[in-house]
Structure 1
Amino acid sequence: MAHLNTWWYRFLEDHVYALPEPPPRVRTKPLEVICVGLPRSATESLQHALLTIGYDHTYHGWDIIYEEPNYAPQWVKLCRKKWFGPLDGNTKFTQEDFDAVMGHSTAVTDAAGSVFAAELIEAYPNAKIVLNYRKDLDAWHRSASQTLANVKHNWMLWIISFLSRHGFWAWHVYLDFMWSGIFRGLDNDIETGVARNGKWVYKEHCNMIRGLVPKERLLEWTVEDGWEPLCEFLGKQVPNEPFPHANTAVGWHNHEDKLTRMYMVEALQTVVVLSVFVLGAGALVQKFIL
């Protein structure tokens, strides 16, 4: 990941693909639940469940790239602080750091909750911690390989990431930083990061959480457990409806297709502007030089 800390990437972030900086969010209600399980561990199902029992808003990884105004650049800054902090090693995260991007949320799951698990646990000492995990590690690994790691083969999305500012930040925050970072993709390759390191990262991540959080503050939970243990832990009434199941592999690819369509409009606008510029420059060269 070292090349991400060079002037070139900072130039791209600060100038070429810069987005208007959104106002920092201000926390108006406490962050009560932090779900720290890695992606593809029922994170979106858990989001829907928490919304159902009253945790509105529950922040999910899709929020990072869907919401407007877009806070993906601020998440990249947090990633830089985590992985490219001061050389004395004294990097300190505060509630204000996280409130600025998700101060409207009372719960968090998926990428933000797992990538910054240790920092969130320390910053919000009164929040309850849910370690959402999958019992079948091989099944999780297959799922992560078919979704997270497979994004790099979406050539259309990759091309669009050069032509669309929002497309750039979606690719940058996840493929370059969050996923490559948490899966120790030292070659900045999420595919090999998940393939080589996914299983041991998963086990070490779960063990880290168990070591950080007192038992009375922690719930280890799988989607098969359903409502009862989750609601008992959070002190909520069990809803009279089936537990939600969201973001299957098909659902994931539907998200990819939706994002591709969203960013395509901006990419085509860029192509038009560049074409006009090139044609105009060519006409000037032909008129005054040739």
Structure 2
Amino acid sequence: MKVIGAGFGRTGTRSLKAALETLGFGPCYHMSEVIAEPSRVRQWLDIGEGRASNWDEVFAGYQSALDWPAASYWRELAEHYPDSKVILTVRDPAKWYASVSETIFASALAERRSLPLRRRVVRWLVRRRSPDFALYPRMAKATVMDRVFDGRIDDRDHVTKVFERHIAEVKATIPPERLLVFEAGDSWAPLSAFLGVPVPDEPYPQVNERAAFRRKRPRRLLSLIVRGR
């Protein structure tokens, strides 16, 4: 593991994943990897509920890791991979909250409510066809919603304070020479310099995470139902 992402989800992690892979630090582990391979959900559920944390097994074949759930364990990963560099992706707190509350948190809060018949049928089909992916809400709760936010994801002030405190804690914990505080708008120059590689002759990737989230989950659920993964 050469690069560990300490930034929360919805801080440009999808764009940074593409950037790291362009720079030669791929494959890059991201929540999208967990969704694409439901067996990984069970791995993270074991970690979140305290049964196992074999980091080398979880990240086998990957040179970098970003986004939740990996970012929830940035301290453990930074200690386990002492030669890795750490990238803290940051964003304006208000804009970050707007993004996370309309995507990840909205999905998690929906799990707490009584679902309409159509959603209950879809959930039943997913559980039948993909038992591992059916554990996704429980995994997300254990590794992100409860671990990071104490389950209070419907409390805007609390969530924003956690976000700001997290940034301060990473900056205070990781030595400056090992840490890059990065915003997607910073583009290639600071990232390439930090990693010691040339600046690519192409634009920095721009992935609309909110739009990708909205497109990806319905397609993934349909795929699970059809193929039974």
Q: Bin the TM-score by the shorter chain.
A: 0.7 to 0.9
Cα offset for 1:221? 0.6
How many residues align? The count is 219
Distance 2:56 2:197 in 1: 25
8 Å CA contact 1:160–1:167 kept in 2: the answer is no
Q: Which entry has the higher C-alpha Rg, 1 or 2? A: 1
TM-score normalized by structure 2? 0.86
Per-residue displacement from partner, 1:126-182 (whole Å, max 9, x unpaired)?
A: 100111111x110000000000111143853655554441331222222x2222124
Distance 1:178 1:161 in 2: 21
Distance 1:185 1:245 in 2: 31
1:73 matched to 2:42? The reply is yes
- 1:206 aligned partner: 167
- 2:14 aligned partner: 44
Correspondence 1:167-182 to 2 at 5 A:
167-174=133-140, 176-182=141-147
8 Å CA contact 1:51–1:58 kept in 2: the answer is yes
Correspondence 1:243-282 to 2 at 5 A:
243-265=204-226
- 1:145 aligned partner: 101
C-alpha spacing 1:263/1:172, structure 2 compared with 1 (3 Å): farther
| One-letter identity of the residue aligned with 2:183 | T
Cα offset for 1:199? 0.5
RMSD: 2.4
1:33 matched to 2:12? The reply is no
Distance 1:118 1:181 in 2: 17
- 2:193 aligned partner: 232
Cα offset for 1:121? 1.0
Correspondence 1:59-138 to 2 at 5 A:
59-67=29-37, 70-81=39-50, 97-134=54-91, 136-138=92-94
What's the % identity of the aligned pairs? 25
8 Å CA contact 1:43–1:110 kept in 2: the answer is yes
If asked which structure has higher relative contact order (CA below 8 Å, sep 6+), I would say: 2
Cα offset for 1:78? 1.1
8 Å CA contact 2:11–2:90 kept in 1: the answer is yes
8 Å CA contact 2:87–2:179 kept in 1: the answer is yes
Please, which runs of 5 or more residues in structure 2 have no aligned partner? Answer: none
Distance 2:127 2:95 in 1: 33
C-alpha spacing 1:172/1:259, structure 2 compared with 1 (3 Å): farther
Moved over 2 A (4+): 152-164, 169-172, 181-186, 263-267
